[in-house]
């Protein structure tokens, strides 16, 4: 590992004890999320919500949508319209994400698609797990959706690699407090945690919380933007990350 171009993450104080990774754009292709998962949810979420409206879990999420939309008196059809609008906006709403995850379950189990995970992400995550580094996911997709993607991945079931999952129930991904809450939940000093993402605002928030960060910029446009930010080490793939 003496390649001078290889990114080495020097430890501020302790070594990296745990890695927390984003999914969309980081472990997995943005196109899989936007061209496969989102259209599937756009098509099947309305009938899913109607069919399961009396299920207590779905009913509670529908109520959460009404509250988040500040529309407490609206009927189910209006809630479904709101969810459609939020999907069009790619709003990172916790109840929407929970409902999407429940809808995707059908797609994965029917074999309509498998979860895309980059080859380099699989290889590095396997090596880190072998090296006894704990690996966590933090995504706006619900924990259910995260588990599904890695259970039904292109590479088979990868869930053994992960020690835990966080979604927006711990807080939004662009807020400093979310990363502090994750560190507190893991019982680790923030500086011993490494957060991987393709989004600068998420990395900025993590760095402000004291985490080590790495910008996974998989295409040239993102690499240029990432390098201009200058706050985070930049890699084109997980292969370029060398942990000390
Ligand atoms: C868990 S796969 C679905 C991803 C998703 O719904 C999403 O909004 C992407 O969020 P991320 O935080 O992984 O960029
Ligand atoms: Mg992302």
- Which tokens hold the place of 85? 């609008």
Among protein residues, the one with the nearest Cα to ligand 1's atom 7 is: 141
Quote the ipTM score: 0.96
Q: How far is CA 58 from CA 46, 76, 77, in A?
A: 12, 12, 14
Domain 33-109 in CATH 1.10.357? The answer is: no
pTM beyond 0.90: yes
Q: Where are the domain boundaries for CATH 1.10.720 in the chain?
A: 33-109
Give the pLDDT score at 244.
Answer: 78
Q: In CATH, which superfamily holds the domain spanning 7-28+115-243?
A: HAD superfamily/HAD-like (3.40.50.1000)
Predicted confidence (pLDDT) per residue in 113-140, tens digit: 999 999 999 999 999 999 999 999 999 9
State the distance from the centre of ligand 1 to the C-alpha of 201, rounded, in angstroms: 15
Predicted confidence (pLDDT) per residue in 173-203, tens digit: 999 999 999 999 999 999 999 999 999 999 9
| Of 116, 198, 196, residue with least CA distance to 158 | 116
Provide φ and ψ at 210, rounded to 5°: 100, 5
Q: Kindly list the protein residues that place their beta carbon closer than 5 angstroms to ligand 2, a single-atom ion.
A: 22, 24-25, 198
Cα Rg for the chain, rounded, in angstroms? 19
CA distance 195 to 134: 12
Residues near ligand 1 (Cβ within 6 A) = 22-25, 33, 37, 92, 97, 139-141, 145-146, 149, 173
Q: Where are the domain boundaries for CATH 3.40.50.1000 in the chain?
A: 7-28+115-243
Percent of the chain with pLDDT over 70: 95
Residue 2 has pLDDT above 50, yes or no: no
Give the pLDDT score at 12.
Answer: 54
Which residues, in sequence order, are CB contacts of 9 under 8 Å at separation 6+?
Answer: 16, 194, 212, 214, 233, 241, 242, 243, 244
CA distance 59 to 64: 9
């Amino acid at each position: 590992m003496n390649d001078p171009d290889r990114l080495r993450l020097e430890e501020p104080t302790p070594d990296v004890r745990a890695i927390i990774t984003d999914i969309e754009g980081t472990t997995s292709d943005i196109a899989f999320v936007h061209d496969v998962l989102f259209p599937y949810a756009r098509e099947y979420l309305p009938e899913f919500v109607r069919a399961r409206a009396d299920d207590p879990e779905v009913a509670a999420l529908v109520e959460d949508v009404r509250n988040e939309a500040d529309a407490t008196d609206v009927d189910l059809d209006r809630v479904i319209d709101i969810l459609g609008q939020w999907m069009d906006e790619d709003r990172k709403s916790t109840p929407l994400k929970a409902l999407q995850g429940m809808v995707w379950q059908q797609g994965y189990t029917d074999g309509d698609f498998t979860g895309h995970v980059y080859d380099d992400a699989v290889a590095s995550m396997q090596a880190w797990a072998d090296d006894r580094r704990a690996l966590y996911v933090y995504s706006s997709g619900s924990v259910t959706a995260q588990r599904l993607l890695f259970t039904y991945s292109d590479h088979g079931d990868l869930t053994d690699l992960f020690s835990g999952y966080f979604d927006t129930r711990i807080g939004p991904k662009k807020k400093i407090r979310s990363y502090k809450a994750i560190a507190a939940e893991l019982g680790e000093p923030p500086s011993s945690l490494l957060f991987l993402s393709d989004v600068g605002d998420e990395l900025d928030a993590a760095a402000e919380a004291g985490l080590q960060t790495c910008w996974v910029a998989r295409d040239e446009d993102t690499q240029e933007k990432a390098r201009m930010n200058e706050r985070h080490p930049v890699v084109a793939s997980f292969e370029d990350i060398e942990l000390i």
